Chain A
């Protein structure tokens, strides 16, 4: 039986990155179409706790590797271990969520396996041995259906396109394997976390984003976000100007989000921004310029000054709760 191997991601704080659960869904979808078994890989200094969290629906086995060298993620250290496991299992597909780690690691794994790779996969098509991948090109202006012709096929899955896997039947077993460790020419120096009490952008149910129209004043954006329990996002211009941290950037080159509700305030809607949010369920745009392209993708557009209407909106939403 063919094998789909999904690589789990442990965050620097030790927790499982939630996008892993979406990647497992992607893996399960692929396994069903390809008539394959779904296996997971987890590399960690101490994988014992997270391995249990990974015994989710449809997973045949969780392969764990434990070593002190695996504490801080490095592509050069992780790639030979994953590639070794792929060869040992004779896996046909290996994939991961399109996170920063997924995008850094998977091509190096693919290179080691002389395999072709599809990035940001949104859907799988076909059945049996005849599988193709749907992925975005040109900032999401084009969807391409691609076929990989190498024996092993590598992919990263866009987390927002697949639901998070949940408990269900914990059929899988945890199997330890000995990692194939190689000396690394790269040293981990440090990781500086940008801390926030708000939900993670890519995981939030509601996102409130600000653009150039805020002139760098994010107080009202943040206040509305807190009223809604939302994450704060930003356009590229705002991040480039250094007004808000880089990791708030929503767009083709930033984060791709698809929340239930996306509120864009003072954002004109450059192609590059739209590529990062147009899969959101409901989009609200607030902008002074009635011609702003953001209105073309918005379900509800309000032509107004954000500094005037954001406080009104916050109060109105607050009243709904009472």
Chain B
């Protein structure tokens, strides 16, 4: 089975994001970059599926030369080869999904696994756009019943269950008030939620091997996709700060403040 996974380059989730004084963007200096954590979960799931069912994991990233770092990261985790769509400049979700559609049509995977959202834009859209553009089945927010401390997780059992005939995949989705299970005909688009798995660390031999794995370079022009943004960011700002709070010495003071000052109880 062939699985296409994504590796978006995003700011390290632990880094402090500050808006530029003129509101034109965020301050880039001093920031570290990583693979989008949700995409990393997608890479891990792809590797587990390939280990169980055989096949190939192809990782794709879109951006300037620097996204090769994220591709190498996924290759070091164990992905077999990489596709790099070389483009500098802003891309919105319509453009990203359009590019991924062309890559998927070229690669013809059985499944595309993406993060449910990237932690920079937080749009939570690309997987759904992609599924519609391809006319494929979609299962967003993939999770599993077992916890991340379960035996299944320790044994790296894939959470996505491919049917015996290899034509379907069962996905447990994290939704409001519970878990919903879908059965998707393959090929399908799956987006990952946090508790699908714990991604592995890249091993040293993995990192060495990744250096010689192939990265194919494509461009929006080669793929025939118009990437003119349809979403314009006019201005960015920092959220209004909360007014400074106080420390209270004991429960009695807390209850008094809650009752008489905040009128919350």
Contacts and interface: CB of A to CB of B under 8 A. Distances in A.
Contact of B133 (A111, A149, A200): A111
Contact of A137 (B122, B128, B250): B122
Rank and list the top 7 A-B pairs by shortest CB-CB distance, nearest first: A242-B147, A107-B128, A111-B132, A100-B175, A107-B125, A189-B181, A116-B230
A10 to B, nearest CB: 12
Contact of B17 (A100, A101, A105, A141): A141
Q: How large is the interface on A (under 10, 10 to 19, 20 to 34, 35 or more residues)?
A: 35 or more
A17 B176 contact: yes
A186 B182 contact: yes
Interface stretch (B48-56, B105-113, B137-145, B210-218): B137-145
Contact of A193 (B13, B178, B262): B178
A189 B145 CA distance: 15
Interface in A187-219: 187-194, 200, 206
Interface in B121-168: 121-133, 136-141, 143, 147-150
Contacts of B133: 111
B234 A132 contact: yes
Contacts of B174: 100, 246-247
Given A99-B176, A261-B265, A320-B259, A309 B185 contact: no
A119 B117 CA distance: 11
B69 interface: no
Contacts of A12: 177-178
- Main DSSP-derived SS at the A contact region: mixed
A116 B94 contact: yes
Interface of B: 11, 13-14, 16-17, 19, 26, 92-94, 97, 117, 119-133, 136-141, 143, 147-150, 170, 173-185, 188, 193-195, 229-239, 242-243, 245-248, 250-252, 254-255, 257-259, 262, 264-265
Given A100-B175, A316-B251, A241 B149 contact: yes
A137 B265 contact: no
Interface string A4-25: 0000000110000100000000
A177 interface: no
A164 to B, nearest CB: 16
A311 to B, nearest CB: 9
Given A116-B231, A192-B179, A108 B123 contact: no
A246 B254 contact: no
Nearest to A116: B230
A104 B174 CA distance: 11
B132 A108 contact: yes
A312 B124 CA distance: 42
Looking at A106, A139, A300, A317, the one whose CB has the most chain B CB atoms below 10 A away is A300
Contacts of A75: 128, 131, 138, 140
B129 A148 contact: no
